[in-house]
Amino acid sequence: MQVVKRAAADYRWVRPPEWCPGCGHFGILQSLYNAFAELNLDPANVVLVSGIGCSSRLPHYVRTTSVHAIHGRAIPYALGIKLANPSLEVVVVGGDGDLMAIGGNHLLHLGRRNVDMTIILMDNSVYGLTRGQAGPTLPAGIKVKAVPKANPQGEINPLLLALTAGFTFIARGYSYDIKYTTKLIAEAITHKGSAFVQIYSPCVTYNNVMTREWYEKKIYKLEEADPAWDPVVHDEKEVDLKIRKALDKIVERDRLPLGVFYKNELVPTFDERYESLYDPNYRKLPPALQPVEADGKPVVDFEKLVADRLL
Amino acid sequence: MQVVKRAAADYRWVRPPEWCPGCGHFGILQSLYNAFAELNLDPANVVLVSGIGCSSRLPHYVRTTSVHAIHGRAIPYALGIKLANPSLEVVVVGGDGDLMAIGGNHLLHLGRRNVDMTIILMDNSVYGLTRGQAGPTLPAGIKVKAVPKANPQGEINPLLLALTAGFTFIARGYSYDIKYTTKLIAEAITHKGSAFVQIYSPCVTYNNVMTREWYEKKIYKLEEADPAWDPVVHDEKEVDLKIRKALDKIVERDRLPLGVFYKNELVPTFDERYESLYDPNYRKLPPALQPVEADGKPVVDFEKLVADRLL
Amino acid sequence: MRISFLIGGPQGRGVETASFMFIYGVGSAGYYVYARREFWSNIAGGRHSYVVGTISDRWPAPAPGNSVELALTFDGHAVLEHVFHLMRGGYLVYNTEEDSKTPDSYPMMAKPLAERLKHFAKGQGFEPTVRNFVEYLRQSGVEVVGLPYNKHISEIGRKIGVASPVMLARFVNTFVVALGAALLGLDEEYVARGVGFALGKKADVIEQNKKVAAEAIKLVGKKMTTIQPRSPGVKRIFWNGNEASAYGKVVGGVRLVAYYPITPATDDAMVFERLIPFPVGKDAGELAKLERIGAMAFQAEDELAAVAITTGGAIAGARSATVTSGPGFSLMSEALSMAGMMEVGIVVTLWMRAGPSTGQATRQSQQDLFFSLFIGHGEYPKIVYASGDLEEVFLDNIRVANWAERYRVPVIHLVDKNLSNTFAVMPLPDPSNLKVQTTPPVVYPQTKEAEAYPLEEVVPPKLLPGVSNAIFHLNSLEHDPEGDPEEDPVVVTKMFEKRMQKLKLIESEIPPEEKVLYFGPADARRVIVGWGSTKPAILTALEELKDVGFLYVKMLYPYPVDLVRRYLEGREALFLENNYFGQLAMITRMFAGVVPTAVAVKFNGRPITTDDVVEAYRKFEAGQKTIKLESDL
Amino acid sequence: MRISFLIGGPQGRGVETASFMFIYGVGSAGYYVYARREFWSNIAGGRHSYVVGTISDRWPAPAPGNSVELALTFDGHAVLEHVFHLMRGGYLVYNTEEDSKTPDSYPMMAKPLAERLKHFAKGQGFEPTVRNFVEYLRQSGVEVVGLPYNKHISEIGRKIGVASPVMLARFVNTFVVALGAALLGLDEEYVARGVGFALGKKADVIEQNKKVAAEAIKLVGKKMTTIQPRSPGVKRIFWNGNEASAYGKVVGGVRLVAYYPITPATDDAMVFERLIPFPVGKDAGELAKLERIGAMAFQAEDELAAVAITTGGAIAGARSATVTSGPGFSLMSEALSMAGMMEVGIVVTLWMRAGPSTGQATRQSQQDLFFSLFIGHGEYPKIVYASGDLEEVFLDNIRVANWAERYRVPVIHLVDKNLSNTFAVMPLPDPSNLKVQTTPPVVYPQTKEAEAYPLEEVVPPKLLPGVSNAIFHLNSLEHDPEGDPEEDPVVVTKMFEKRMQKLKLIESEIPPEEKVLYFGPADARRVIVGWGSTKPAILTALEELKDVGFLYVKMLYPYPVDLVRRYLEGREALFLENNYFGQLAMITRMFAGVVPTAVAVKFNGRPITTDDVVEAYRKFEAGQKTIKLESDL
Ligand SMILES: Cc1ncc(C[n+]2csc(CCOP(=O)(O)OP(=O)(O)O)c2C)c(N)n1
Ligand SMILES: Cc1ncc(C[n+]2csc(CCOP(=O)(O)OP(=O)(O)O)c2C)c(N)n1
Ligand code: SF4
Ligand code: SF4
Ligand SMILES: [Mg+2]
Ligand SMILES: [Mg+2]
């Protein structure tokens, strides 16, 4: 087979994005194109999965296979796809409302499985598509443009949640910094295990508080602030230390660090666990790729299957 | 009014518990009776709320008002009760399956509101009532009695989740240590804000790994190991430090600390926030206690209500 | 008097604001307006949005049909969208600066529409430019007011001393609205009132826009009509369906609304939230000493939580409601079954939109009738009730809140996208004929274990935690009178029947006129049967269709079998519905055994218009049994 | 030949194991057994559980009625539970050591039952002791075998050299089962086979228990009958409904099962999981070289995830199913609507139990028919199909897996608690008449943007990520052929109709004999109409009720209107259902316009028995229109 080298433009779908001009989500889309090109992913082997939200429309602007599912459930749909065919490159994108409010439980339970897929949180701290209500990452007391009152609910830190969930790659980017975001997304995709990337992505229409200016005053890069920063677990024994170091940065609130907080490829992935516990051929012959009949006859030997039940 | 002093037995319901003999849940039940008695709670002013599970049957064994709701939703039912009438003492009990698997999202979103109520997790790392499947706190690779294969999914640390969620009181007990568990529950109930108590509660029928012996080899008490242990945030400035200290203990895995990990009463409760942002009379005249009509006439002045819309 | 209009332009860029200006402006001249908004399910990004409506000197104002007399367009895209929506003799206002554009100039125009337009132009032998379509309209008898908008606005800016492009851009709304006002013979004062309503009461803003309006009006040489400012003699309100619903909740005593945002339901909750704390009336009994009272509006993490919080609120004793649309309603299935089992009365205001699944989030349908009737596993009593216009939306909110408390069942209140986005200037409804009916809680003098589910009472006593001095157990499991789990077959049967007896109780207590209404001649041989928001269109069509009856069904469950049978006995019935299956027709067959003569359906995401009703009826008269409606305005 | 039996004792303490021993033991003597388990919805704690069934030399073995000929009881509680479940001439085996106990001695006995027993004893003029009830039974013509169990077991222990109380306690099951074997004239060999099956094949355990059995058998002086060991001449299987379902999935090619535990569905998934990896057959084409192949069994965090994972699996190309019961099914509403919209074929095996809400988690009902038909917001195509016995459960699993792939719709496979807990020794079904039908995926030679929803094809092409070399978009929003969001009214209408045409396709392709079956005389004037697990009881009753037909409906949606009309035309129809509303009767009226003559329902959480069918039919014959069944075995 001929090796194709694809460019970012090769991942652009025919239809143009329908976001408000200036929306942070454009930056993430561009970064995704770039990362896909950098990794030269086969667009027919990538499955982009999303829920519902402005952010969740992203797959329609990308030239890869995609599933635009229902609100909050992108992760389990993606998971089903990946479980059935682990050779696919599965990437989930979604908003803070989608992935952390209604979809919070699936995020929480994905990490602990360490399935080899990537979650990209397009975080604007509001519900864009339903016209500007508070998202779960909006701090208490802030009143955004379109709602009548200030937020009486506190915020959740997505990275702390990812760590709690057991994600083995945890990073944070900023949508207007396309180069950096590209790098983080590419790293997340190549990571072996469940990867989580939060990307600050201002909603220019409804979030009049957490704006470009607001973010740019607070963000900094981990590796710039501390050139010795090394989030990678190189040895089992380092796990506790690296988790504690990551936590230390994750709970930072006044300034907002960007970069990779934690990365551990020593945890077995779900595939690996499944092969050792259930089915040694799992990756060779996964559910989606098995023939189940030959000339209409089941491939399974029924009598052998029920042997211990026969009288 | 006459002051009644109630004893633990005053909270015992007429029907006996229907758990398997030796089940850890008995210890929690007794601790709850004790704590209620210690605090002398009015049983007609307490609402015990649960979902579905062996653990969730607990309210039927207690002489207080209770709501035995559906699987995974105890928290939002309890929340609705508390929001409508904040003067009630609302306590949620439930299993690891109920509160952390199907109900994980509600736990995640309760903490950030800091509503003044208590969650008691009766943690046996299995699904008792459905006959022994893996619960979300069962470590990967463990095979419990009634299931065909070892667990391919990792565990979630309930305390780390509680901290992520924003609970302002976080503690862990052990069901066979009734005295200690009583103390923790009483503290949780008196805490001003959202309180979370995890209680190890072995399932003698299905969890043949995490047994009494297993736990008793690992548990220790924070304040015994470190007499200077002080989980309380006494000053706003201490928050970050105390969170980091709590995290340090929460992520401990080889041994299992019991005790109070974190306590912060400086965070405004939801009532307080709601009063300042929405309704200054909220606690004086909450939704459940307002008359809504007088002689069949609405108490609200309709024309004043729509004044800005009249032509 | 009746003038139909539309205002169209790029979504999210002021066309909604312009519509408010126009409607309020016309309203402030003493008229009634009935209008509806159509928009795409994304925020901005260049899609086309419009408002279509009717101005009238009487109420109810007629519902719009498939074409209008006056079209105010913001850009060429809007002209192209509405080429087939203009009446002969109608007026088109448009921007000549877009004359040379074609469907392909508007990347956000729906591709199939662009293709249809090009195909049409080709058939007519012209290039598909805006100019040519306008010319085609002119030849079809449409009066055209074409002006170079930006050029004029710049000139006006110069006159009134505004040069910044940002500022000038803000005048477009006022400019277009003023062109409309000019055609109606209304002066700048009314445009200014619209501006005041839509942009806020700042005097300088109003003054400046008034000047813009005055200048714009001068640019129009024609007049469609002259509508004289008048005094309608009644108090009027400008609101939409979401707002009517929220006001109904407040008046009806709802004090807890938990919700998760979803189109087109969110605004019901957000208006409720905005209104907190509410003004107290003079006759408010013990509350009268307070100026304002509060309530709980709560944004939940999802709909599973929203309905549970709502149920919790009701358990504690607050009148509680949640608002949602199809996807969220689906998520409430399990909890509704529980409310039925646990005997907790809650209200779910269900704003139907076009499904299945995410479907068309901002489009109309009545697809969720079946699902509302049978939602949730297992069998339990409930009420399903539908509103058909804004007055009903308001008043029915009071009714359903009463019923939820009275019967302790989940009450599903069916409304839809069409109602949510209906904007009307209409007489202020009078809620005083409708009582807010509550049940006092049981209060024991001494703490007491109480039966939550006594077998002798169809509706359990109102026991409230912290109020009743009672200790009681509520349960989602099948239970004994104490509320504790029970599987004894005898008790189980009794408990099941006790719950189901509520259906009979509901049937017997709710008066017939709140269940079905009949319009038209008592002896009509043919009857149109409908429910929900098709009501105004059907009533409007009835003015044209003589000798036809209209059986309007509000109570969907428990189904008013006897009433429906009585009205349909011996008549031919055309069922008219905004869904695919003809769901009302089917349940009528199931519950009442009445076989529909014909069924007309529309499932393209657009509401049934007055013209649709007439078309369906003509086909029905001609003997057609299944009729598909496809108009697109 | 037919012997009915029950085995009752304290739940969670061996009575289930004893039942397996007994059933397998009798089965190993060459007989068929059809039995059902009843238990409470908590794990242990002292509730009463039992198995009731029939032994027969033919298959289908008759379904049990409301009383049995042989009752093996473990304790006095069990005697009291079954006082009214013994036939005249039947045999009761009980422990005389409990003679002096009364209902109040058993704190876990359902209070209402205890009250009824005490009331009955009072009416009869005796103290409510176990002894007196046994005496009452004796006087009613029941043969009693009363033995002091523990005394005998200790003695036997002494004989065979076992003294430890723990060990002795383990012999109770064998002891009681052996007493039953004695009455049936079976020797210890068959008890030992039962022990081998229930406790494992360890030779020493079997040997020891065989000795216990031999001793126990000697204690019984009476004999009901002597059933001769026989050779039935066909391969037989011992399984229950959950297992039959799991085997059906494996054979039918299901390779991904995602689930969240729930009674009575869990075992379907857990058996599937246990069987991984599966043995490959010799005719397996390219797979034949492998010995075993794998599959994915996945325990999700909740049912929202379970159904989504299942759908994801199907999108990737695996035959995928989820298993659940009412509460979990409710949570799947939104995702089912999406599967309909996105055109993904999945199977939901719905194990119905008694609702509403948590209801009675371990009890029987057919309450979820309505909900299955109309689950999820919006209108979309689906299939709802029901199985009525274990063979059907197995074979229908293959059918529904085929259909999900063929039509790309959600398929809801209705089974119930009654089936899940039916244990049978029966002929091994032969799946070879049923094809496993798959569609090959489209594979492009070169990467290509492909239409996921071409308008010309009712069922979309099978595009698989990573396989088809295709780039395509799937969407829960209304979409154009490319799968991108579209709200153009013309395209929307076409897409909607295209999806709905599947219903017609399904109707035309699935053969009539897979939709309805008719039993009994072709010219019967009266017909019983039923669905699902009432089938065996109705068929058994038909042997007694001459001249009656039985119309058995398997396809519930799309409803087989023509077939049902044809069979019911001109006949009187009694609908018989395990729910409150008579749901099949109602949908038959809705879809087919057929008015049921009478409806018999049972909603106390217990299945409809053969005696119930006879009772209902007698009342129907006598002209009763609505019949409530209340038997409790
Ligand atoms: C079950 C369900 N509930 C609610 C909605 C309505 N809804 C659509 S998008 C959205 C939130 C979007 O917010 P987010 O995920 O943060 O994305 P953003 O638009 O901010 O990018 C909501 C609540 C829905 N589609 N489905
Ligand atoms: C929606 C729904 N799904 C599944 C169930 C079945 N179910 C009942 S209890 C339970 C889990 C119980 O586990 P846990 O909460 O840990 O309590 P435990 O029995 O271990 O105390 C499940 C899955 C249900 N009742 N409802
Ligand atoms: S509403 Fe906000 S998130 Fe949505 S497209 Fe516009 S700017 Fe982006
Ligand atoms: S099954 Fe486990 S959790 Fe349930 S009652 Fe028995 S021991 Fe307790
Ligand atoms: Mg967002
Ligand atoms: Mg548990």
Q: B39-82, pLDDT tens digit by residue?
A: 999 999 999 999 999 999 999 999 999 999 999 999 999 999 99
Please work out whether the CB of residue B264 comes within 6 Å of at least one atom of ligand 4. no
User: Is-contact D465 D316, C-beta < 8 A?
Assistant: yes
The pLDDT score that the predictor gives to residue B291 is 97
**pLDDT interval class at C513 (50, 70, 90):** very high
Using the Cβ of D287 and the Cβ atoms of chain A, whether some distance falls under 8 Å is answered with yes
pLDDT at C45 over 80: no
Give which of A124, A141, A119, A144 is closest to A133, Cα–Cα.
A144
**Mutate which: D37, D242, D301, vs B, most B CBs within 10 A:** D301
- One DSSP character per residue, A230-269 reads --B--SGGGHHHHHHHHHHHHT--SSEEEEEEEE---SPP
Write out chain A residues lying below 8 Å of B157, CB-based: 164
What percent of the residues of chain A are helix, what percent strand, and what percent coil, each to the nearest 5? 40, 20, 45
Provide the percentage of residues in chain D whose pLDDT is more than 90.
96
Mean of all residue pLDDT scores within chain C:
97
- Ligand 5 centroid distance, CA of A119 (Å): 15
Chain C: nearest CA to D110, how far in angstroms? 6
Three-state SS string over D438-472 comes to CCCCCCCCCCEECCCCCCCCCCCCCCCCCCCCEEC
pLDDT at D99 over 90: yes
Q: Who surrounds ion ligand 6 at CB < 5 A?
A: B 95-97, 124, 135
**pLDDT interval class at A2 (50, 70, 90):** low
- Ligand 1 centroid distance, CA of A131 (Å): 9
pLDDT at C41 over 80: yes
Residue C115 burial (CB count, 10 A): 14
- State the average pLDDT over residues D330-354: 98
Helix (H) or strand (E) holding C491: helix C489-509
pLDDT digits (tens, 9 = 90+) for D551-572: 999 999 999 999 999 999 999 9
- Ligand 2: nearest atom to the Cα of D302: 3
Sign of the dihedral defined by the CA atoms of residues B307, B311, C6, C10, in that order = negative
Provide the percentage of residues in chain B whose pLDDT is more than 90.
98
- One DSSP character per residue, C372-424 reads HHH-SSS----EEEE--SHHHHHHHHHHHHHHHHHH-SEEEEEEEHHHHTEEE
- State the average pLDDT over residues D496-509: 98
pLDDT at D385 over 90: yes
Residue A31 burial (CB count, 10 A): 26
- In a 10 Å sphere around its CB, with 0-12 CB exposed, 13-18 middle and 19+ buried, how is residue C212 labelled? buried
Q: Test B164 with A156 for CB contact under 8 angstroms.
A: yes
- In a 10 Å sphere around its CB, with 0-12 CB exposed, 13-18 middle and 19+ buried, how is residue C140 labelled? middle
**pLDDT interval class at B2 (50, 70, 90):** low
The pLDDT score that the predictor gives to residue B4 is 82
**pLDDT interval class at D157 (50, 70, 90):** very high
**pLDDT interval class at C179 (50, 70, 90):** very high
Residue B275 burial (CB count, 10 A): 19
Provide the token pair at D284. Answer: 């397996």
Angle between helix axes D15-28 and D172-184 (nearest 10 degrees) is 40
User: Is-contact C19 C71, C-beta < 8 A?
Assistant: no
Distance CA D389, CA C623 (A): 47
Q: Give the largest CA-CA distance in chain D.
A: 89
- State the average pLDDT over residues D136-141: 97
Using the Cβ of D270 and the Cβ atoms of chain B, whether some distance falls under 8 Å is answered with yes
Distance CA A212, CA A200 (A): 9
**pLDDT interval class at C594 (50, 70, 90):** very high
- State the average pLDDT over residues C252-275: 98
Q: Which residue is listed with tokens 């399974």?
A: A300
The pLDDT score that the predictor gives to residue D12 is 83
pLDDT at D44 over 80: no
Residue A35 burial (CB count, 10 A): 25
Amino acid at D68: V
pLDDT at B161 over 70: yes
CA C474 from chain center: how many Å? 36
Mean of all residue pLDDT scores within chain D:
97
pLDDT at C223 over 60: yes
Q: Test B205 with D108 for CB contact under 8 angstroms.
A: no
**pLDDT interval class at D20 (50, 70, 90):** very high
pLDDT at C37 over 90: yes
Angle between helix axes B178-190 and B25-39 (nearest 10 degrees) is 50
pLDDT digits (tens, 9 = 90+) for B16-27: 999 999 999 999
* Whether residue D277 has a cis bond before it, omega within 30° of 0: yes
> What domains, with CATH codes, occur in chain C?
2-217 (3.40.920.10), 239-427 (3.40.50.970), 448-509 (no CATH), 516-628 (3.40.50.920)
- Cα angle value C422/C424/C427 (rounded, 5°): 140
Helices and strands: H and E segment counts in chain C: 22, 26
Sign of the dihedral defined by the CA atoms of residues C209, C214, C219, C225, in that order = positive
pLDDT at C555 over 90: yes
Using the Cβ of D238 and the Cβ atoms of chain A, whether some distance falls under 8 Å is answered with yes
Distance CA C596, CA C469 (A): 54
User: Is-contact D578 D504, C-beta < 8 A?
Assistant: no
Using the Cβ of D262 and the Cβ atoms of chain B, whether some distance falls under 8 Å is answered with yes
- State the average pLDDT over residues D528-545: 97
**pLDDT interval class at C495 (50, 70, 90):** very high
Write out chain A residues lying below 8 Å of C274, CB-based: 148-149
Write out chain B residues lying below 8 Å of C26, CB-based: none
Helix (H) or strand (E) holding C214: helix C203-218
**pLDDT interval class at C25 (50, 70, 90):** very high
The pLDDT score that the predictor gives to residue D200 is 86
pLDDT digits (tens, 9 = 90+) for C57-79: 999 999 999 999 999 999 999 99
What is residue A122's three-state secondary structure?
Answer: strand
- State the average pLDDT over residues A132-154: 96
Return residues 122-161 of C near B (CB < 8 Å).
none
pLDDT digits (tens, 9 = 90+) for C8-18: 999 988 899 99
pLDDT at B1 over 80: no
Helices and strands: H and E segment counts in chain A: 11, 12
Chain C: nearest CA to B120, how far in angstroms? 18
**pTM for the model:** 0.98
pLDDT digits (tens, 9 = 90+) for A9-29: 999 999 999 999 999 999 999
Provide the token pair at A128. Answer: 């864009």
pLDDT at D167 over 60: yes
User: Is-contact A168 B125, C-beta < 8 A?
Assistant: no
The pLDDT score that the predictor gives to residue C290 is 95
Provide the percentage of residues in chain C whose pLDDT is more than 70.
100
Task: Give the ligand at the shortest distance from the Cα of B123.
Answer: 6
Mean of all residue pLDDT scores within chain B:
97
Least confident of B180-184, C38-42, D321-325, D519-523: C38-42
Q: Which residue is listed with tokens 């050029």?
A: C151
